[in-house]
Structure 1
Amino acid sequence: MTNDNSSNEDVNGAAASSGDAGDNLRVRTRRRRPRWRRVITTVCSVIAVLIIVPLVAFFAAYAVTKVPQPEELQNNQISNIYAADGSSELARIVPPEGNRENIDINEVPEHVRNAVLSAEDRDFYSNSGFSVTGFGRAAIGQLTGNDSAGGGSTITQQYVKNAVVGDERSLVRKGKELVVSAKMTREWSKDEILEAYLNTIYFGRNAYGISAAAKAYFNKPVQELTVEEGAVLAASIQRPSQLDPWTNRPEAEDRWNYVMDGLVGLDSIDRNQRSAAVYPETIDPATVDQGSIAEGTNGLIKSQVLAELAANGISEEAVNTGGLKITTTIDSAKQQSMVDAVHSRLDSYGDDVRAAGVSVNPKTGGVEAYYGGDDPNGFDWVNAGLQTGSTFKIVTLAAAVEQGIPTSAMYDSSPVTSGDNTVTNDSGETCGTCSLAQALKMSLNTSFIRLTQSLDNGAQDVADMAHKLGAAESIPGIDQTLTENGETPYEGITLGQYQSRPLDMASILATLS
Structure 2
Amino acid sequence: MGRAEERRARQRGGRRAAPEGRRSSGAAGRTGIRRLFTWKKILGTFFGLCLLGMGAFIVLYMMIGIPEGNADAELQSNVYKYSDGSIMARDGERNREIVELARVPKDVQRTFVAAENKTFYKDSGVDLRGTARGVLNTLSGKGAQGGSTITQQYVKNYYLSQEQTVSRKLKELVISLKLDREKSKDYILAGYINTSYYGRGAYGIQAAAQAYYRVDAEDLTVGQGAYLAALLQAPNQYDWAIASDTGKRLVQERWNYVLDNMVEQKWLDRADRRAMKFPTPEEPKPAPGMEGQTGYLVEAANTALKQQLVAQGIAEDLEQAKALVDLGGYTITLNVDKKKQAALEKAVKTRLTSKLDPGKRAVDADVQAGAVSVDPKTGAVVAMYGGVDYVKHYTNNATRDDYQPASTFKPVILAAAVDQDAETQDGVPITADTIYDGTSKRPVMDGTRKVGFAPPNEDDVDYGDITVQEAMNKSVNSVFAQMGIDVGMPEVVRVAGRLGMETEGMEAVPAQTLGSMGASPLEMAGVYATLDNHGKKVTPAVVKSVEHKDRRVEFPDPIGEQVISREAADTVTSVLTGVVDDGTARTSVRENPLRDGQQVAGKTGTSDNNKSAWFTGFTPDLVTSVGLFGEDEKNHSQVPMYRAGGVDYRVNGGGFPAEIWAAYTFGVMDEVTEFDLDTKQGAAVRPSTSPPDTQSPSQTPSQEPTTQEPTTEAPSETPSQTPTSEPPSQTPTSEPPTNTPSAPPTFGIPEGPGDPEDDEEQ
Q: TM-score, normalised by structure 2?
A: 0.32
Structure having the higher Rg: 2
Q: TM-score, normalised by structure 1?
A: 0.46
Q: Which has the higher helix share?
A: 1
- Structure with the greater relative contact order (CA < 8 A, sep ≥ 6): 1 or 2? 2
